[in-house]
Structure 1
Amino acid sequence: MLTAQITEPESDGYPIILPTMILPSITKTFEMLNDLRQNPTTDPALLLRYRDRQYAAEMLAVAIGKLNLFTWIDARGSVATESIQQHFSLARRPLDVLLTLCRAGGWIRTESDRHELTALGREHLVDHSPWFLGPYYAPIVDSPIAQGCLQVLQHDRPANWQASEDGNDWHASMMDEAFAKGFTDLMNCRGTAMGQVLADKTGSFLADCKHILDVGGGSGIYSSTLVAKHDHLRATVLEQAPVDRLTRDEIVRHGLQDRIDVVQGNMFTDPWPAVADCILLSNVLHDWDVPEIRTLIQKTAAALPSGGRVIIHEAFLDDDKSGPLPVAEYSVLLVNITRGKCYCPAEYGEILADSGFDVGPYQDTIADRGFITAIKR
């Protein structure tokens, strides 16, 4: 037989009497919601940078030891992107990532699409300089990660996802439930802090919204933090199998199953639920090249009413692609394991404008991340 006791919470000033067996689960739910509502007091940027930059050294090693890129540029004074692409037979997307890394690192400068070495690059990255550092990078120039960097530069194919034995890239690997679980946990652990700050910074933008569609929402952590902090919001997460099952479990763990739905579907090939007045694209677009991004933005426009809103939450480059260095390094990771890279607000803004959106300014959040907003005309 269940015993009962008087406990919190109170409703209209009267205490609620609850069975003691139910109390632990309700208390745990309140604790989970409170965790989602509290911002961290510190910025974990440096801790994430150690992980996010792990491919950057090998990309530089390839540029020095395999391409001898800096010596070649120095011999010509300045060169256009197309000349680099043609001479070395490099693909457009990864070359853009490499040149962005070189600008952010301070080794080249770019003006009107012509690239020349800085003093730092000329002294330390040109093979006939007395201060040439090429031998310092020689031990890693043939490492598996460096080989992957060279592969993606030459063939525009993502290298293997770290220890993946079947040769699949990240997108194909996500169809495996065990891999999907590990990767979703990886994204979820950083998403709690990022989502809480995003929820705070977008509060006024979301004030008149009622329902968020979280496209490719992974564990649903960003929907969960937004809904937990803004009581007027509901959310729907669109995710493909098998991730959608993991998403449901996470939402139940947060006690938000009454306010967040999960719909299984492929964001490219399946129709999007017609429920939202705001669409969230959080850490989604950077996985794709420009044609796929255009497709997703067009689907965003089609799913929203006039006045509907969109939030793009990412790690953004500066509009001139000269930094920030941590984001340029992270872009090297992305180009090796996905079909995308990091983009700048201007690149997204152009695509949004073409699809009928008025675009707002970029805003920082936490951990080298930020967001832009747009409203459908």
Structure 2
Amino acid sequence: MTIDLKQNPATNPALLLRFRDRQYAPDMLAVAVGKLNLFSWIHQRGDADTEAIANHFSLASRPLDVLLTLCRASGLIESAGDTHRLTDLGREHLVDTSPWFLGPYYAPIVDSPIAQGCLQVLRHDRPANWQASEDGSDWHTSMMDEDFAQGFTALMNCRGIAMGQVLADKLGGFIADCNHVLDVGGGSGIYSSTLVAKHDHLRATVLEQAPVDRLAREEVLRHGLQDRITVAQGNMFTDPWPGGADCVLLSNVLHDWDFPEIRTLIQKTCQVLPAGGRVIIHEAFLDDDKTGPLAVAEYSVLLVNITQGKCYSPAEYGVILADHGFEVGPYHDTIADRGFITAIKR
């Protein structure tokens, strides 16, 4: 099928993506209600800080942050700094002494495979192996397998076409003076393809590990962009990045990782860019106060179960970028609950 990368979709697929992206959120809530009885415990105390919750229930910080964000975005708790208390909704329906307690309604899914995986992640901070290989490898290890990588790359590619087209439009002014984009962890290369298709002055290099690099070359060839997009094979953490770029694109990459790995990738971004070079982070972003959006909080539950990351806010990325000498720009919406922030190397 021939795809016109310059023609945006007429509709927003956000709802269709949300149906899939929220699939882990109900089970995570079921664990909070039926396994931890979290809301009753907070109610008995009046309020509780994050450290107290983590210590009492033996929960790891990354998944606990995802759970608390989901609860805030769902209107079940409200937070002042690291201190959390129940809302009226949470108090009436999720406390086991309330006449309106809905705990039994979640009983049928509290022991589901997904719920068991959520509890494993909450307790041990390890991905629960969704879509992993049969030997139990996590998603990142599974991506080294040819068949798995092909299926997952195709999955991301079909989603990325519309996202990439709108991103390319919204970035027009920011990349007007750029010549070469380095698309780090670029998957099928769909974001590079939409960028160069809409901006004739641009060239791009996609950095991907094997076997995804071969799949990216095939996709670039399918779009007829092989003269303007090259694909470099390499591990983005351990191998040198290709030089010559004046713009680095990190699209749907950082949310796969925790803060130490994010800092490593931002540091390498800083090292490869010249002064005045630009970076684009394209993601599903949480609000800075982590009270929503609900769709992104639900998506973060999926990510914490299948990757080593979660969804982050512009402020969280902004601190890391500033620490590495970048001047950070504002957040911009695109399509399907996604958006981007930009930064310029001083």
Same topology, TM > 0.5? yes
Match of 2:231 among 222, 239, 262: 262
Aligned partner of 2:185: which letter?
G
Match of 1:87 among 34, 37, 56: 56
Q: Who is 1:124 aligned against?
A: 93
| Contact 1:161/1:168, CA 8 A, preserved across alignment | no
Deviation digits for residues 24-79 of structure 1, max 9, x if unmatched? Answer: xxxx8xx54xx100111100000000000000000000000000000000001111
Q: Does 1:178 align with 2:178?
A: no
Q: 1:120 to 1:152 in 2, by over 3 A?
A: same
Q: Does 1:324 align with 2:293?
A: yes
Match of 1:302 among 236, 258, 271: 271
Q: Does 1:39 align with 2:8?
A: yes
Where 2:232 maps in the other structure, the secondary structure is strand
Q: Who is 1:252 aligned against?
A: 221
Q: Who is 2:188 aligned against?
A: 219
Q: What's the CA shift for 1:164?
A: 3.7
Q: Who is 1:64 aligned against?
A: 33
Q: How does 1:23-38 map to 2 (within 5 A)?
A: 32=3, 35-38=4-7
Where 2:137 maps in the other structure, the secondary structure is coil
| Contact 2:132/2:139, CA 8 A, preserved across alignment | no
Structure 2, unaligned runs of 5 or more = none
Deviation digits for residues 146-171 of structure 1, max 9, x if unmatched? Answer: 00000000000000124642211110
Aligned partner of 1:222: which letter?
Y
**In structure 2, C-alpha distance between the alignment counterparts of 1:258 and 1:331, rounded to whole Å:** 37
**In structure 1, C-alpha distance between the alignment counterparts of 2:151 and 2:129, rounded to whole Å:** 16
Q: Who is 2:322 aligned against?
A: 353
What's the C-alpha RMSD, in Å, of the aligned pairs?
0.8
Q: Does 1:285 align with 2:241?
A: no
Q: Who is 2:106 aligned against?
A: 137
| Contact 2:133/2:148, CA 8 A, preserved across alignment | no
Q: What's the CA shift for 1:95?
A: 0.1
**In structure 2, C-alpha distance between the alignment counterparts of 1:127 and 1:297, rounded to whole Å:** 45
TM-score w.r.t. structure 1 length? 0.91
| Contact 2:132/2:142, CA 8 A, preserved across alignment | no
**In structure 2, C-alpha distance between the alignment counterparts of 1:162 and 1:148, rounded to whole Å:** 12
TM-score w.r.t. structure 2 length? 0.99
Where 1:116 maps in the other structure, the secondary structure is strand
Equivalent pairs counted in the alignment come to 346
Q: Does 1:51 align with 2:14?
A: no
How many percent identity over aligned positions?
82
**In structure 2, C-alpha distance between the alignment counterparts of 1:143 and 1:346, rounded to whole Å:** 35
**In structure 2, C-alpha distance between the alignment counterparts of 1:135 and 1:354, rounded to whole Å:** 48
**In structure 2, C-alpha distance between the alignment counterparts of 1:67 and 1:107, rounded to whole Å:** 15
Q: Does 1:208 align with 2:170?
A: no
**In structure 2, C-alpha distance between the alignment counterparts of 1:262 and 1:73, rounded to whole Å:** 51
Where 2:78 maps in the other structure, the secondary structure is strand
**In structure 1, C-alpha distance between the alignment counterparts of 2:131 and 2:232, rounded to whole Å:** 30
